Amino acid sequence: MPRFPAQPQKGFCDYFPEVLRVFRHVERQIHRTAALFGYEEYDGPTLEPLEIYAAKSGEELVREQAYVVRDKGGRELALRPEMTPTLARMVAQVQKSVPRPIRWYSIPTCFRFERPQRGRVREFGQANVDILGTASSDAELEIFSFIRHFMENLGANRDQYRIRYSSRRYLDALLAQVVGVPADRTVEVRKMIDRRDKLAPAEFEKWVRETFPEGPVADRVLRLHEFADPAAPPLPDVPAAFRESEGYRELVEFHDRVRQTGLDGVAVFDPTIVRGLDYYTGIVYEVHDVGTENRRALFGGGRYDNLLELFSNEPMTGTGFGMGILTVKLFLETYGLLPADLSSPPRAGAVYVACLSAAQRSYAFAVVERLRGRGVPCELDLDFAKLGRQLQRAEAKGYARVAIVGEDEARQGQVTLKTLAGGAQETVGLDDLPARLSRPER
Ligand code: HAM
């Protein structure tokens, strides 16, 4: 027999129970926050036609990152690299009947052929929270507030993360009227700015200077962060046309709304936020760790005005984010925010049942059946080892109490209940056992 590697493929991960406990902890906070804000859960297929990503998501996602399979009918399908086109497709089916705004969320598994690195793997869980059917920037403010509640529920404080936002329209005006990027190179520069987090600063600078060897464009691209406060007095060389542009006005207005709603401690304007996906049209945002340990975004999202037109004659705008469960796990680890009880399985109120010989196995089965019937979690040792060995196993698994079943106990319809810390023990009749276990151990 060939022996296969015990490790998964590069970029894919095996999730052992202790990791999954953390993922579920993060997901529970998404469900909890969604309930708090009135969002309903949806789900869609893992495989979708490749074209729906090719149409609006962008070349990088389709050409470089999509896992493509051909089905028996010869159709090209992608393992979903993201959820937003599926969401748009689903909303297109019900947009006439569902009251607006539509508030939906989902926690799909997505697939991308990315270079594996900290926080980036090839199969990942991504929470998606979106609000559709309203053009009001109050939708963005609600999404920011959702993020703040979610992060607070996880124990994070405002000094540990920032929601950084900008606007596609603002950036386009800035690039055209201030930086001096020719119209036919705007998309290229946007992509360049978006990649800055993926490169070391010196590498990024070298790339910018090589792309724009002549004129002041490279210097200005590298100084974009100087536009970090749109409401501050503009730099002396900023043309009036820029301040009168729709992009500038939209951003300043939004900036004010962020302040008015008290979100300004958490959300900050950052002109270098661009987002890699092509379908964004307005306000875009990312959540970043303020420290240096987790350089890549924890969340990314934005406003998409034209995505539904792929599936429907009736346009509908939306805004929302995707958040990597893994990236949030790394963030929580960085700041020591994981609850201690996640490090072992929850065993409160549970009992380990030790059975001393095969002759009592039927009685031991009756004991666990009775306990489970009364809602008491329990685990039965199955190999009749010496009692000391079974007690060790119970302790290693995190149990505080063991119900011991031997010959006498089986004959009298009892168990010997032992508390591992301290070793106190008592005899308890089977009928009384569930009630006894609901009281704290002695
Ligand atoms: P995205 O920026 O491509 O946006 O992904 C959002 C988040 O998903 C990232 O910030 C990261 O936390 C997580 N993520 C992305 N790629 C990986 C990976 N390879 N491994 C682990 N985590 C990853 C979108 O996907 C948009 N569809 C989000 C959206 C929803 N926009 C509007 N609504």
Mean pLDDT on 74-79? 96
Residue 102 reports pLDDT greater than 60 = yes
Give me the pLDDT at residue 149, please: 97
Same structural domain, 169 and 278: yes
Q: Whose CA is nearest to atom 29 of ligand 1?
A: 321
Q: Name the pLDDT band for 139 (thresholds 50, 70, 90).
A: very high
Candidate from 327, 329, 332 with most ligand 1 atoms within 8 A of CB, to mutate: 327
* Exposed / middle / buried, residue 438 (Cβ in 10 Å: 0-12, 13-18, 19+): exposed
Candidate from 23, 59, 62, 82 with most ligand 1 atoms within 8 A of CB, to mutate: 82
Angle of helix 17-37 versus helix 325-334 axis, rounded to 10: 100
Give me the pLDDT at residue 233, please: 59
Please work out, in degrees rounded to the nearest 5, the angle formed at the alpha carbon of residue 148 by the alpha carbons of 145 and 152: 140
How far is the C-alpha of 130 from the C-alpha of 344, rounded, in Å?
Answer: 34
Residue 116 reports pLDDT greater than 90 = yes
Give me the pLDDT at residue 33, please: 98
Same structural domain, 23 and 134: yes
Full DSSP string of 400-413: SEEEEE-HHHHHHT
Mean pLDDT on 129-140? 98
The answer to whether the CB of 263 falls within 8 A of the CB of 254 is no
Residue 167 belongs to a domain:
yes
Give me the pLDDT at residue 441, please: 61
Q: Which residues does a 6 A CB cutoff place in the pocket of ligand 1?
A: 82-84, 112, 114, 120-121, 124, 126, 128, 130, 277, 297-302, 320-324, 326-327
**pLDDT tens-digit series, residues 151-206:** 999 999 999 999 999 999 999 998 888 888 888 888 888 888 888 877 888 888 89
Residue 12 belongs to a domain:
no
Same structural domain, 295 and 386: no
Residue 196 belongs to a domain:
yes
Residue 4 belongs to a domain:
no
Please work out, in degrees rounded to the nearest 5, the angle formed at the alpha carbon of residue 380 by the alpha carbons of 379 and 383: 140
Give the torsion through C-alpha atoms of 20, 67, 328, 32, to 10 deg: -70
Which of residues 292, 325, 340 is at a domain's end? 340
Atom of ligand 1 nearest to the CA of 120: 20
Same structural domain, 239 and 276: yes
**pLDDT tens-digit series, residues 224-276:** 777 767 766 566 667 888 888 999 999 999 999 999 999 998 999 998 899 98
Structure tokens at 236: 């002396």
Same structural domain, 398 and 327: no
Residue 8 belongs to a domain:
no
Give me the pLDDT at residue 197, please: 74
Residue 17 reports pLDDT greater than 70 = yes
Residue 2 belongs to a domain:
no
- CATH number reported for the structural domain that contains residue 235 in this entry: 3.30.930.10
Residue 258 belongs to a domain:
yes
Task: Decide the pairing of beta strands 40-41 and 102-106.
Answer: parallel
Structure tokens at 370: 């009775």
Same structural domain, 237 and 375: no
Centroid of ligand 1 to alpha carbon of 325 (angstroms): 10
Give me the pLDDT at residue 52, please: 94
Q: Which amino acid is at 175?
A: L
* Closest to 404 in 3D by CA, of 347, 369, 363: 363
- CATH number reported for the structural domain that contains residue 404 in this entry: 3.40.50.800
Give me the pLDDT at residue 436, please: 92
Structure tokens at 4: 């296969």
How many Cα atoms are found within 13 Å in the side-chain-facing hemisphere of 416? 17
Centroid of ligand 1 to alpha carbon of 322 (angstroms): 5
Mean pLDDT on 408-417? 97
Domain that holds residue 123: 17-340
What average pLDDT does the structure give for the chain?
93
**pLDDT tens-digit series, residues 309-359:** 999 999 999 999 999 999 999 999 999 999 988 888 878 889 999 999 999
Residue 9 belongs to a domain:
no
Residue 442 reports pLDDT greater than 60 = no
Mean pLDDT on 206-218? 85
Same structural domain, 36 and 59: yes
Centroid of ligand 1 to alpha carbon of 110 (angstroms): 9
Centroid of ligand 1 to alpha carbon of 370 (angstroms): 47
